[in-house]
Structure 1
Amino acid sequence: MTIAKADFIEGIAKGMAVLESFDTERQRLNATLAAERAGLTRAAARRHLLTLAHLGYLETDGSYFWMAPKVLRFSGSYLASSRLPRALQPTLNRLAAQTGESFSAVVLDGEEAVIIARSGAYGTPTRVLAYGLHLGARLPAHATSTGRVLLAAMAPAQFTQWLKGRHLARLTPHTTTQARGLRQLISRVRKDDYCFASEEHELGVQALAVPLRDMQGRTVAALNVVLSGTRYQEEALQREMLPLLFEAAREVRSLL
């Protein structure tokens, strides 16, 4: 969304940049590190850190800062008020009960695929589920089945712009990290209308994803099944799971 310069509140933008500086690589930041990550001066970063701590969104030991539970209010409010997760949850629950596997619904946010709804595998201990498969988890789009489905929904020119100058991190020995290779994979996803990813985000984890489209044909999310611990052949997954995913996508289309 584009707004007029007079409507842009720079202080809020800087505060959000500081808050977004915290991630899995850096759970604790001091003013110097936050300044580097947010593109601010150290003095400005320090003021924003102190303000966020005063408001309860950060905790501090006087030198370093880290996120406080209060930041979950943002995700909680989204999950409680957004129509999309609520519309998809019953279908995810049904699929999990029907198959005994774990399913997720995901949207794209920049370079990351964000889980907005999920159902655990029925009767399966949590310890065997893939790492990071919780509500709000942010996974690298280039290395995940859902991320690739959402990238394939972009117009070719838009995807080219998304890919330009982007570093594709290697997460496992199987991760596609070359732009040319990812282009080929995305082209295949556009043609097949589904994506299979094997051990690219995490060893021992495979996933199959399909797009979720609204009544106008726009892809608004992706649905996938995640399998951990056993290596499946793509053909077997196509035969056993793909019809269920496509059926579910048709079932929820009028709700999106």
Structure 2
Amino acid sequence: MSASDVNDDLLARDEPAGFADAPADLNDRDHVNSLARGLEVIKVFSRRTPKMTLSEVAQATGMTRATVRRFLLTLVREGYVETNGKHFNLRPKILELGFSALSSMDIWDVAQPIMNALSERLQESCFAAVLDHDSVIYVARATSNQRVSVGINIGSRVPAHCVSTGRVLLSALPPDLLHQYLDEMTLTKFTPNTITSKVQLRSLIDEVRLQGWSIVDQELEVGLRSLSVPIRDGQGKIVAALNVCCPSMRITPEDMRTRVLAEALEASNNITRALQI
């Protein structure tokens, strides 16, 4: 996984992260249709479709080619999209949209030094992620001096069903939203370990909700093992997942369930306590 994974802006909610709803008092008069359609154009670019033709974007959004062309050329002119004349793809500048939102959230100012300390103690890479519909987006990172590190960067987006951050965040969703997720999601198999049964995934998510943590062993990428715990705000709501990710050759499952889990839970609790001050 690399920085070429799709970079998208985050729409967060006050409930467990993800699935943002519009304000109840929003009426049609307040809705800017052109802005909404422009955002739809941005969101069709994904890890599976990082480069798309004008026709492909039009088909994916249900808009006319002429409409999509105007949106894409505007995004090109503003520096958010680039084109080779046939294909379009997002540029790193798109991250500025997400960073603007994140920079206003005090939680990341609090979390970063705690994550840095956790990474140094464990000598492994640590991340924070939030839920965005059926994906997680990594929004903070801390790395150690280990020569072999995990290639996940801020802004990387991965499917939620096959990573420990995703299962922690999904476990925080209200039952109706979790049911909607499982009903609509296609569970892609990335490795021989990837869970693709919705019944089994639901059972694992329920288990995570009860125990308060998740370990996923090589379901997204062979050789990659990770553990995640919830990050809660000052009111106790789960707003993100704290993740320790490492090559499986360095950390055994037993070590993950003992030493790494204890350190991650302590770091998460420290973040929550700091937010209550």
Q: TM-score, normalised by structure 2?
A: 0.85
Residue 130 (structure 1) aligns with: 150
Q: CA deviation at 1:172?
A: 1.0
- Pick closer, same or farther for the CA change 1:89–1:184 going to 2, 3 Å: same
What secondary structure is seen at the aligned counterpart in 1 of 2:52? coil
Superposed CA RMSD in Å reads 1.7
Deviation at 1:254, TM superposition (A): 3.1
Aligned to 1:46: 69
Q: 2:135 aligns with which of 92, 104, 112?
A: 112
Which of residues 25, 28, 33 in structure 1 aligns to 2:51?
Answer: 28
Matches within 5 A, 1:155-234: 155-230=174-249, 232-234=251-253
Matched, 1:152 2:175: no
Residue of structure 1 in register with 2:11 after alignment: none
Distance 2:76 2:188 in 1: 32
Distance in 2 (alpha carbons) for counterparts of 1:135 and 1:184: 30
Q: How far did residue 229 of structure 1 move?
A: 4.3
SS in 2 for 1:201: coil
Structure 2 gaps, min length 5: 1-20
CA contact (8 A) 1:31 1:42 kept: yes
Answer with 148-157 or 75-84: which moved more: 75-84
Q: What amino acid is aligned across from residue 130 of structure 1 in structure 2?
A: V
Post-superposition offset of 1:227: 1.3
Q: Post-superposition, which runs of at least 4 consecutive aligned residues in structure 1 deviate over 6 A?
A: none
Does the 8 A contact of 2:192 with 2:219 survive in 1? yes
Structure 1 unmatched runs, 5+: none
Distance 1:57 1:233, change over 3 A: closer
Identify the structure with bigger relative contact order (alpha carbons < 8 Å, sequence gap 6+).
Answer: 2
| Cα separation, partners in 2 of 1:38 and 1:255, compared to 1, 3 Å | farther
Structure 2 residue corresponding to 1:13, chosen from 36, 43, 60: 36
8 Å contact from structure 2 (residues 124, 149) kept in 1: no
Q: Is the 8 A contact 1:130 1:228 kept in 2?
A: yes
Instruction: Say if 1:210 and 1:222, in contact at 8 Å, map to a contact too.
Output: yes
Matched pairs, number: 252
Letter in 1 for 2:206: S
Shift of 1:232: 4.1
Distance 2:255 2:49 in 1: 40
Match of 1:77 among 88, 97, 100: 100
1:118-167 CA distance string (max 9 Å, x none):
111x2223xx3334x11111121110101101111123333112211321
The one-letter amino acid of 1:107's match is: V
**Which residue identity does 1:80 align to in structure 2?**
S
